[in-house]
Amino acid sequence: DAGVIQSPRHEVTEMGQEVTLRCKPISGHDYLFWYRQTMMRGLELLIYFNNNVPIDDSGMPEDRFSAKMPNASFSTLKIQPSEPRDSAVYFCASSFRGLAKNIQYFGAGTRLSVL
């Protein structure tokens, strides 16, 4: 398997623009997680899905952030409008049957820079 695939790997945008990050989980995995990594706050869970349904979005910082999972093989994290403080590395991870049964596999991340 190719692992968790994230695109793009790097994104540079200007403040106010819409940004869409994409994730393809490992085939057969039923959990998908979005994390954000910054120097100040470390790794934070933003939201996670089970069978394409959002389960916990309490980590989503504000209404400018939204995430969707239209099918089992694709998820997006959208920021609209983007702000410089959104600059971070965003990771997607997937797992099968949750942590009690299996581990999370992480993608390589998307490095977002908002100017």
- Residues contributing to the site for another protein (CB under 8 A): 4, 31, 33, 42-45, 48, 50, 55-56, 91, 93, 95, 98-100, 103-109
CB of 84 to another protein, least distance (A): 22
CB of 16 to another protein, least distance (A): 28
Tell me how far apart the alpha carbons of residues 85 and 52 are, in angstroms, rounded to a whole number.
Answer: 28
User: Helix (H, G, I), strand (E, B), or coil: what is residue 86?
Assistant: helix
CB of 102 to another protein, least distance (A): 10
User: In terms of residues, how long is the chain?
Assistant: 115
Assess contact for 88 and 38: CB atoms under 8 A.
Answer: yes
Of 36, 92, 94, 29, the closest CA to residue 60 belongs to 36
CB of 90 to another protein, least distance (A): 11
Cα 68 to chain centroid distance, Å, stands at: 10
Closer Cβ to another protein, 18 or 56, answer by number: 56
Closer Cβ to another protein, 48 or 65, answer by number: 48
Closer Cβ to another protein, 78 or 108, answer by number: 108
Closer Cβ to another protein, 65 or 91, answer by number: 91
What are 45's two structure tokens? Answer: 């869970």
